[in-house]
Amino acid sequence: MYNRKNLKNIILLPVVIIILLVMVSLMQIGCVGKNRQIQKVTVVLDWVPNTNHTGMYVASEKGYYTDEGLEVEIIQPSEGGSADLIAAEKGEFGISYQEQVTYARTADASLPVIAIAAIIQHNTSGFASPKEKNIKTPADFEGKKYGGWGSPVEEAMLKGLMEKYGADYSKLEIVNIGATDFFASVQKYVDFTWIYYGWDGVAAEVRDFPINFMLLQDLDSRLDFYTPVIIISEKTKNKNPGLVKKFLGATEKGYQFAISNPTESAEILLSKVPELDREIVIASQKYLAGQYISDADRWGEMDTGIWEQYGDWMYENNLLESELIVEKAFTNEFLP
């Protein structure tokens, strides 16, 4: 017969065993967490940090990369962009654009880089000018000064669009303005230039600076190309696909958060890059919240037709040394 003391011990014993088992499990989990290797990776931007890149800063701040065992460093590129650096394995991931990837894949000395995600679903760039200059279509480019950065793509685009709209390309003056600010350029040196609406267009709204803006794909549907995109090297694709999937999984969460929480995401970007104009960053973030995915089924998705039509346009305008093999230029296989 059990006495009360024995009965108490019998009841308590299973409880003590369960508590000990839980403590051992927690200690094991803690050891696994401490022993898990953190992989350091580098992201090379295409330009100075801006709202195109917010999702990555959010993923870093919110711990999405850490959750995947990644420690991500985001750096600015040297002159020439990210493709050369990624091809040379100076970083695991780069921010580029379809034009640069197309050049890289078709040059005689081709660069083995591949686009793995579109940060923004449609090209938000186009030609902009102060409203008082009355430049509304490419037909109005005659007798004007265009400010660019000396790219052959610019010349081909301007020439083709002017011809399409019945204007004489020889009557357009092209001035190399380099990295000069849009507002300074069109007020001091040129009549119009090429901008991304998500930054300079939004900035014009914030500054109450009226502009005329021509979205490129409205002028020619073939000019709706992916810009910017995330790129990797072929070596990374083949040897470390798990890393690519983990990075894109965390990055996608960052952009989804930016879509749902543009103001908070803007503040995260500003905390990392405090020199940016706060009002413009917040307004730009709200604009891009509707552009990151737009009409696609998921963030990052790229369409073969977009790559084909822009590659064909570049080849037809003698901008490429050979035709683009599209399936080597991009892939959706790593998207979450």
For residue 34, pLDDT over 60 is answered with no
Q: Nearest 5°: CA angle at 297, between 293 and 300? A: 50
Domains of the chain by residue range? 39-120+226-328, 125-223
With 0-12 / 13-18 / 19 or more C-beta atoms within 10 angstroms meaning exposed / middle / buried, residue 98 is: buried
What is the predicted pLDDT for the residue at 5?
44
Q: Backbone phi, then psi, for 309, in 5-degree steps? A: -70, -35
* Residue 21 pLDDT > 50: no
Mean pLDDT over each residue of the chain, to the nearest integer: 91
39-120+226-328 against 125-223: fold identical: yes
Q: What is the pLDDT of residues 201-221, one digit of tens each?
A: 999 999 999 999 999 999 999
Q: Is the pLDDT of residue 35 over 70?
A: no
Q: Is 79 helix (H, G, I), strand (E, B) or coil?
A: coil
pLDDT band at 81 (very low <50, low <70, confident <90, very high): confident
Per-residue pLDDT, 197? 98
Instruction: Indicate the pLDDT class of residue 11, thresholds 50, 70 and 90.
Output: very low
Confidence of residue 3 (pLDDT cuts 50, 70, 90): very low
pLDDT, position 26: 42
DSSP string, 256-284: HHHHH-HHHHHHHHHHH-TTS-HHHHHHH
The CATH number of domain 39-120+226-328, selected from 3.40.50.1820, 3.40.50.1220, 3.30.420.40, 3.40.190.10: 3.40.190.10
Of 22-26, 75-79, 190-194, 295-299, where does mean pLDDT reach its minimum? 22-26
Q: Which two tokens stand for residue 279?
A: 């009002």
The number of beta carbons lying within 10 Å of the beta carbon of residue 222 is 18
| DSSP secondary structure letters along 91-102 | -SEEEE-HHHHH
Tell me what pLDDT residue 4 has: 41
Mean pLDDT of 261-284: 98
- Report the predicted TM-score, pTM, of the whole model to 2 decimal places: 0.88
CATH number of 125-223: 3.40.190.10
DSSP letter (8 states) at residue 300 = B
| 283 phi/psi in degrees, rounded to 5 | -65, -40
Would you state the pLDDT for residue 215? 98
CA distance 129 to 186: 7
Whole-angstrom distance, CA of residue 292 vs CA of residue 251: 12
Chain mean position to CA 131: 29
What pLDDT is stored for residue 239 in this prediction? Answer: 95
- Interval 158-205: pLDDT, tens: 999 999 999 999 999 999 998 899 999 999 999 999 999 999 999 999
pLDDT of residue 100: 95
210 prior amide bond cis, ω within 30: no
For 245-256, write each residue's pLDDT tens digit: 999 999 999 999
Question: What is the mean pLDDT of the segment spanning 281-299?
Answer: 98
Q: What is the pLDDT of residue 258?
A: 98
Distance (Å, rounded) from C-alpha 27 to C-alpha 7? 31
Instruction: Return the structure tokens found at 275.
Output: 């020199």
pLDDT at 110 over 60: yes
| Residue that is written with structure tokens 């998500």 in the block | 198
- pLDDT at position 28 is 43
The arrangement of strands across the sheet holding 192-196 comes to: 173-176, 145-148, 192-196, 125-130, 211-215
Contacts of 221 (CB under 8 A, 6+ apart): 309
Q: CB of 231 within 8 A of CB of 113?
A: yes
Q: What does the buried/exposed string (b/e) look like for 58-72 if buried means 16 or more CB atoms within 10 Å of the residue's CB?
A: bbbbbebbeebebeb
Dihedral angle of Cα 276, 280, 281, 282, to the nearest 10 degrees: 140
Q: Which pLDDT value is given to residue 83?
A: 92
